[in-house]
Amino acid sequence: MSDRVAVWEIALADGRHILEFEHGTTTGKRVVIVDGKEIMRKDWMFKLVGSETFNIGKVKCTISIEAMSGFAYEYLLTINGKTLKKFAENQRKISKSWVIADLDGQPIRVALEKDTMDVYVNGKRMETTGEFVDDGTETSFAIAHGHSAFIKATTTGKKRDGIVHDLYVDDIRIEPEPDPWADYR
């Protein structure tokens, strides 16, 4: 019988991750599983509440275990010191991602961190070259052998909408990935 008590799906610059947490409410056992791989295990802990901190790549995560009533517990996930909801709101503002279903026989995920203009391809930070163009900027980078890619940043002219970022691969506009944080609004 599994002691799985929580499952979260989180989208980071290096891709989407499934985070599972097991908590033995009689033994205190704590297990953290990321993308099907166990990354932390503690067996036979005398304290049933507390927190566990670990990293997913360069991102610091903490799962807090709090007692409710009786033998009920609440499990809270914080990412980089922010509640999951606040982290999701921030990610929605500072990042954008695209998935190219088939480029040279494999799917490719491109992520842009808007605050730093860092570009990631399948989780790897890419070297980029930026240049000003008539209607904004273009940030070029390598994506796959023989394919050119750039992210074009243009202003909408509306303060509320700000800057729009579009990905082009071989001069074809790629639709953005659906909002990976829609469930956390």
Q: What is the DSSP string of 55-91?
A: EETTEEEEEEEEE-STT-EEEEEEETTEEHHHHHHHH
Residue 63: exposure state from Cβ atoms within 10 A (0-12, 13-18, ≥19): buried
Same domain, 74 and 102: no
Assess if residue 89 is contained within a domain.
no
pLDDT exceeds cutoff 60 at 1: no
Assess if residue 86 is contained within a domain.
no
- In whole angstroms, what is the distance from residue 47 CA to residue 106 CA? 46
Assess if residue 28 is contained within a domain.
yes
Same domain, 99 and 71: no
pTM for this prediction: 0.77
pLDDT at 110: 92
Same domain, 33 and 66: yes
Q: Which of 80, 104, 130 is the last residue of a domain?
A: 80
Same domain, 145 and 172: yes
Q: What is the pLDDT of residues 40-97, one digit of tens each?
A: 999 877 778 889 999 998 899 999 999 988 778 999 999 999 999 999 888 888 889 9
Which two structure tokens, joined as six digits, stand for 117?
Answer: 């203009």
- In whole angstroms, what is the distance from residue 59 CA to residue 8 CA? 15
Same domain, 66 and 135: no
Interval 98-114 mean pLDDT: 87
What's the domain count of the chain? 2
Q: Whole domain around residue 158: which residue ranges? A: 94-184
Please compute, for residue 67, the number of CA atoms within 13 A of its CA located in the half-sphere on the CB side: 9
Same domain, 113 and 63: no
Assess if residue 29 is contained within a domain.
yes
Whichever domain contains 107, its CATH number is: 2.40.128.180
